[in-house]
Amino acid sequence: MNEFFKHLRYVLTENPVTLVAGTLFMMFVILAVFGPLIVPYDPLASNASRTLQPPSWDHWFGTDQLGRDVFSRVLVATRLDLAIAVSAVAISFVLGSVLGSLAGFFGGWTDKLVGRLTDTIMAFPLFVLAMGIVAAMGNTVENIVYATAIINLPFYARVARTEVNVRRNADFVLAARLAGNSSIRLLATHIYPNTLPPMMVQVSLNMGWAILNAAGLSFIGLGVRPPTAEWGIMVAEGAGYIVSGEWWLALFPGAALMLAVFCFNLLGDGLRDLIDPRRRT
């Protein structure tokens, strides 16, 4: 464990970009965990006497058309958006990496079946496919997670298949096979761990895409339902007020969304360096 933290400190300090991304990531995690406890106002409480007020010392991000505090809603929305992204990416990572690893190691009908499944998903525009799944199943948080996981699954399946296919006849695998290891043990303990570094980059990118996907579904009315605080809903509600001068309604939740995607896009290289055993020198 001590070696892990030493390597973590090295990865964060070696690259300033990774340090910035890691700092932003920790900030979002802290806000997701403690945000509802530290917000100055109830994010769902409306106040007709304070509607559409610009940013001030009382309301740092202003108020919306119902008099709700935008700052409180942006902070509370962090937990929901991160929860959707983490859940969706975790499901797609586990299923996709397992299916891709089996396809790359065993080949044959397993490879063909997994290949047809991923090709079928990739044949559709991914956001349109997510729209269709949510529209058919209902716009609940669970269905948004499932839809986002389905459209991200082919990325992990293809990366895992390629990495396993390249390594299944490597010298260290042949040596482990001669030592009496079964095929499943070879795949699980010798080959699969070596596929994780490239997939960590994909995990980081997919986190940003998952947040954008959830926000996009909410923006068009197929995501989380009002009055729940969610970045996509807040941007959609504020878009109609930009022309009349209430710019803060869409700006601040949009900035939070942009910052989250920016953070996860930069975090990929750091995750790869942290997981890859060849970089622990």
Set out the domains of the chain in order of their start, with CATH numbers: 2-44+61-279 (1.10.3720.10)
How far apart, in whole angstroms, are the C-alpha atoms of residue 273 and residue 280? 8
β-strand partners of 69: 63
CB atoms within 10 A of CB 197: 18
Taken in order 191, 193, 198, 202, is the CA torsion positive or negative?
positive
Q: Are 222 and 135 in contact (CB under 8 A)?
A: yes
Give the pLDDT score at 13: 65
Decide: helix, strand or coil at residue 39.
Answer: coil
Residues 6+ apart with CB under 8 A from 267: 18, 21, 22, 25, 204, 207
Task: Indicate the DSSP class of residue 225.
Answer: P
- Regions of the chain where pLDDT drops below 50: none
Decide: helix, strand or coil at residue 227.
Answer: coil
Give the pLDDT score at 118: 92
User: Phi and psi dihedrals of 63, rounded to 5?
Assistant: -125, 160
Give the pLDDT score at 264: 86
HEC string of 46-79 equals: CCHHHCCCCCCCCCCCCECCCCCEHHHHHHHHHH
pTM: 0.85
How far apart, in whole angstroms, are the C-alpha atoms of residue 65 and residue 4? 49
Give the pLDDT score at 180: 80
Strand ranges, E, within 56-161: none
How far apart, in whole angstroms, are the C-alpha atoms of residue 236 and residue 221? 9
Strand ranges, E, within the chain: none
Give the pLDDT score at 186: 84
CB atoms within 10 A of CB 132: 13
